[in-house]
Structure 1
Amino acid sequence: MKLLNTYDYRDEAEKAVLLITGEKRLASERDGTEVIYNLFGEATWGNLYKLKMFNLPELQKLVEMKNKNQPFDQLRYKEIIQMLKYAANTFELKIPDHWL
């Protein structure tokens, strides 16, 4: 399991834990006078998509437009892919070829 995300509010963290699949755990910790909630789980593209991380829902729309030969925001697409390269390295994932 890896740390997937950190939340400031318990209800937000509890909703997130219900979204992802596989082994998961929600842990709280004090940071000074505030409590933060760490979501641990399996680092998969599916789980990251469900958590709406790394602009994956936006990427899905851009890839669909690209595949249909429709005009799409190429600059934004490149920005998201760059961010995914970082995420792939961090979570030891491979970016699916059909996203590139």
Structure 2
Amino acid sequence: MNGNEDFMCLNAVREALKVIDGKWAFPVIGQLYYGSQRFNGLRRSLGGISIKSLTIVLRHLEELQVVRRQIFPTVPVTVEYSLTEKGREYRAVLMQMRRWGEKWTIDSGK
């Protein structure tokens, strides 16, 4: 690769890493692979995440177009979160990271 290709590659990797920035983005994406969820259901399934943290993560992922926020005109208003096509495709990135991690994880018992 030449310098320009290296720079473009690094930018693409940075963009991919923006998605899982922070402690909770990866678990949120993982939970939404199972289907749409309401805020409180998602919070319960994650366990240990504060309302503020979940709000921040969902806004971040929505801004990156990884998560879709859908509002239903019910009383009270119902809001559901789901993965967009971009979010579903991110699974391939996570699976590659998993394979790398499994290959290179040092077993502390050896």
TM-score by length of 1: 0.31
Greater C-alpha radius of gyration: 2
TM-score where L is the length of structure 2: 0.30
Please identify which structure carries the higher strand content: 1
